Amino acid sequence: MRYLLPLALAALSATASFAQNSITDAQLAKFRQESAASPADRALNNAVALNGLKSVGQSANNSAYDTHFSNEVKSQGITDQQKSGRCWLFSGLNVLRAKMIQRYNLGTFTFSQNYLFFYDQLEKSNLFLQAVIDSASLPMNSRYVDWLFKNPISDGGTFCGVADLVMKYGLVPSEVMPETYCANNTSVYARLISLKLREYGLKLREMAKKSSKAQLEAEKGQQLGTIYKMLVRCFGLPPQKFTWTLRDSKGNAVSTKEYTPKSFYKEYLGQDLGSDYAMFMNDPTRPYYQTFQIDMDRHTYDGHNWTFVNIPMEDLKQMAIQSIKDSTMMYMSCDVGKELDSKLGFEDSDNFCYADLLGTTFPMTKRERIQTYASGSSHAMTLMAVDLDAQGKPQKWMVENSWGKDYGYKGHIIMTDRWFDDYVFRLVVNRKYVPAKLLKLYQQKPQMLPAWDPLFAPEE
């Protein structure tokens, strides 16, 4: 009994503290008085309630919108990732596709996203299962193991996945392994393969208590065999050999040959994607001119973690301008949904007057938005145009998107330079456009960032 009185007093003290800090009747009365609506306010309240903030808050005329660009890399045909999170794959392949079209004077041409996605999902399954084995000594509620089981696999990713997968498995034209319904609609498939991987992960953790390394590897091999069968069912069997006819822009046959996926890539592109491209970030929450790496942010167990140099936006823009002037597209990613006029495919800070509509302000900086989880990179696209003024300063940019030809401006999105400053995060650029002082930074030992860093969620 002697312990009950202190506990009761503590409970009463906590209750009193909660009451002291709760919303009071006096506060509510004050709020109601301050919110007394004029006739104009009542009309505006009704408009917002019936039509929504985005509809009522949209600017009637934004003079910043136009479709002229001083420098533009021409593209051939817009791709469509449909209801999947494969923007990273479409964007990376669009960069390579543009190079192949330009080099061989092709008409509309695409690489098979489905082919590379098959191996992406197989490799990510192996990455998860092996990580479970490697971390079997850690408790289930450790941050690392908790993250693993929350994220066994995804259809999102980054350019490092494109690089590792292409170099390991090659490429095939889209007609050799076409898209399937499951590739275009990944939600059900993703739920089921995640469920299977979690089941397998628990089994491997249990086995690790009493099994040898060889036994664990044998079990993992059997598990991957089942995953492979699931992938074949959903996406088809990847080709080992195929015959393909190279045709020019007029449809005339130039050559017909038999290829493997790797020999096809070697003959038509042949770049070492792991060493020819450099990845940069504009993250004002971290020091500039330093190199970082994201733990477990890779697509294959034997691949490369996402490694980048953090730089000011002006440095990033200069490389982008040089690349576009040389007719070379780039992989980029951004917070695509912010201030987006989806009908026009136009992104600008003045597209919506939400602050005026709600009688407040939204003054947070890019740094503050990142720190508070208000903004982060969510979508990858292919940067392919810039509009420069007479002094060479960028006024706006354009990307080739992967949401189909009817979205936005003929399948593209246009963004003003101020929006670019606020919401663009990542750029992958051919090293020949990178200043020597920035390339030298890749010689630094990267600072490792945790896999669960919110700014490095897979782009979808």
Closest among 244, 268, 247 to 258, alpha carbons compared: 244
DSSP, res 92: H
Q: What is the rounded CA–CA span in Å between residue 151 and residue 10?
A: 41
Which pairs count as long-range contacts for 251-259, CB under 8 Å and 24+ apart, including other chains? Answer: 251/107, 254/104, 259/172
DSSP, res 352: B
Residue 327 falls in which region: left (phi positive, over 0), alpha (psi -120 to 50) or beta: left
Q: Is 48 exposed, middle or buried (0-12, 13-18, 19+ CB in 10 A)?
A: middle
**Which residue do the tokens 């007479």 mark?**
390
Residue 357 neighbours by CB under 8 Å, 6+ apart = 44, 48, 53, 56, 57
Cβ neighbours, 10 Å, residue 242: 16
Closest among 452, 88, 153 to 300, alpha carbons compared: 153
Closest among 117, 40, 91, 27 to 427, alpha carbons compared: 91
Closest among 382, 377, 380 to 456, alpha carbons compared: 377
Look at strands 412-416 and 346-347 and give their pairing. Answer: parallel
Tokens linked to 356: 């005026």
Active-site positions read 87, 379, 401
- DSSP lists the bridge partners of residue 383 as 330, 399
Do 132 and 193 meet the contact criterion of CB atoms below 8 Å apart? no
Q: What is the rounded CA–CA span in Å between residue 419 and residue 408?
A: 17
Secondary element (H or E) of residue 265: helix 261-268
**Which residue do the tokens 């823009």 mark?**
317
DSSP, res 46: H
